[in-house]
Amino acid sequence: MVKFKNEIDKKLMLHLHPLILMVLFDAQFYLSENYNYNLTVTATLSDSEVDKELGRESTTHRTGRAIDLRSRDMNEEMIIDLVSFFNDKYKEIAAVPNRSGIPTLIIVESDHLHFQINKRYELPEVNSISDL
Ligand SMILES: [Zn+2]
């Protein structure tokens, strides 16, 4: 079962591109089958104000292409396994960071895993998530 850090992100999830949701539920299925683990979503859709507050440079969260998952309760083996398996499995739909030029679905951050799909799936930005 996918858990949510807060109710707002659960509601906003419905505004994301369906491919990022497919990946999310596939990751839950994979981790549940292999590690008996339940994911916690910590961030979904954002707007430019939220991104500014968080110092986010990438537009992936405000264009419906990204989701963040808690990683502090995952062990290193799970993270390495998930990242290598999913980065390969979803390379055709993954975002391509300018820095590396290599399709990368999952980016490991200090306290979360950032999942991102390609720019071609970009949705129009919303002015404010509080209007949704
Ligand atoms: Zn993120």
How many whole angstroms from its chain centre is CA 92? 16
Half-sphere exposure of 104 (CA within 13 A, CB side): 13
What tens digit of pLDDT does each residue of 28-63 get?
999 999 999 999 999 999 999 999 999 998 899 999
- The CATH number linked to 81 is 3.30.1380
- How many angstroms does the Cα of residue 61 sit away from the middle of ligand 1? 6
Separation CA 117–CA 121 (nearest Å): 7
Nearest alpha-carbon partner for 94 in 111, 81, 110, 107: 107
- What is the value of pTM for the model shown? 0.95
- How many angstroms does the Cα of residue 67 sit away from the middle of ligand 1? 6
Average of pLDDT values for 94-118? 95
Domain, as residue range, for 37: 3-131
113 within 8 A of 107, measured Cβ to Cβ: yes
pLDDT band at 132 (very low <50, low <70, confident <90, very high): confident
pLDDT, position 30? 98
- How many angstroms does the Cα of residue 105 sit away from the middle of ligand 1? 11
- How many angstroms does the Cα of residue 34 sit away from the middle of ligand 1? 24
pLDDT, position 98? 87
How many separate domains does the chain show?
A: 1
